[in-house]
Structure 1
């Protein structure tokens, strides 16, 4: 099996947080993939950069895709981590990617558009995302796609423990939105502590991202 790492650009006014970043043009939004979200809470975490958080939060209050929100922690003057609850009007592509047996490695905004870096087991799995985009009038462009070291059969720089943790998390639904498994459940399946499981997932995901970016750089050269 040849895994695929794809980078896509999508745009639609109802993709989560689009109205917010349009209101605060200084805002940069990135997903926090390692956040241990309770699948029943409906809360999703993002790392936000903004020159004016009061303006950013004014945009949140106007955004039809956002329900409740909370500034969880400020990591520095211009950066903070927020939790959000989505409304029924929000278009959530990460759940579509999960349905296609994929994993969202990164998500960040580019103006009103969004850049998704995703892993899927086969190129044909991308069809699910394109079908969803066409059904909901979402503009979608494939920026690049690369063959990816198989999560199941090659290491991509992963340790055996990191690979096992990622596979267990994928199979139990930990990467889905909303999550079908908690971090503690993944840890129980691995028979390790919750902090140890969190560390393996965090380092393993980082290793996959670094591996894919190195591949891109090599290909460019």
Structure 2
């Protein structure tokens, strides 16, 4: 019976909200007010211990960068923090974790789960994932329950064959930017192209690409996840 239900299971977009002192970066996020974006990337021989973190903070100088790096290294879950560079208000670091509960199960790839975004703002982590089956959804819930992590499901959208394509809600410029980025592997892990390369193909600035991608993803989330 289980196999029969699984065969007709539909993929889902899941957004969860996490707030717990056991999570990675909990000490840093407790003291930092600005938005933080986390992107995991597998590293040979090290699994998912490494991650890229983007800290949004404007008008940073050399002393500010050193302050952010020091604050990151003082987080008990972080063993290494390397500054990679700043573009606009985005200050990018590479981190290595040694302790703390991961924001999502380390087995996400094997489970067929795609993590679309992991962003901290206003005291909470918001994780957006594409989940292939209901049984996988239960595995994700078990990950949080087993570690005693407080979480709540903000949105759950189950894809149906009758769903109307959300891309119709996108203006032409945003749709083109999203398609060019997707077809060239911008959303792959690791990325096949940079924002600058996407910008060159579109003939616009890098900041223009960044704005179009953010706005198009925001529109798609609104169109597919909001009831």
TM-score, normalising length: structure 2: 0.64
After the TM superposition, list the runs of 4 or more consecutive aligned residues in structure 1 that deviate by more than 4 angstroms: 51-55, 154-159, 161-166, 205-210
Of the three residues 2, 10, 13, the one matched with 1:2 is 10
Give the length in aligned residue pairs.
185
Kept after mapping to 2: 8 A contact 1:3/1:120:
yes
* Residue equivalent to 1:118: 129
Kept after mapping to 1: 8 A contact 2:38/2:118:
yes
5 Å-filtered alignment, 1:3-152, equals 3-24=11-32, 26-32=33-39, 37=41, 39-40=43-44, 42-50=49-57, 52-76=64-88, 78-87=89-98, 89-94=99-104, 95-148=106-159
User: How far apart are residue 47 of structure 1 and its match?
Assistant: 1.5
User: How far apart are residue 210 of structure 1 and its match?
Assistant: 4.8
Larger Rg: 1 or 2? 2
User: How far apart are residue 85 of structure 1 and its match?
Assistant: 0.8
TM-score, normalising length: structure 1: 0.65
Unaligned runs of 5+ in 2: 1-8, 59-63, 168-177, 199-208
* Residue equivalent to 1:177: none
Give me the whole-angstrom Cα distance separating, in 1, the residues matched to 2:158 and 2:143. Answer: 23
Kept after mapping to 2: 8 A contact 1:21/1:56:
no
Give me the whole-angstrom Cα distance separating, in 1, the residues matched to 2:19 and 2:107. Answer: 15
RMSD: 3.9
User: How far apart are residue 62 of structure 1 and its match?
Assistant: 1.7
Q: For residues 164 and 56 of structure 1, do their structure 2 counterparts lie closer, same or farther at Cα, with a shift above 3 Å needed?
A: closer
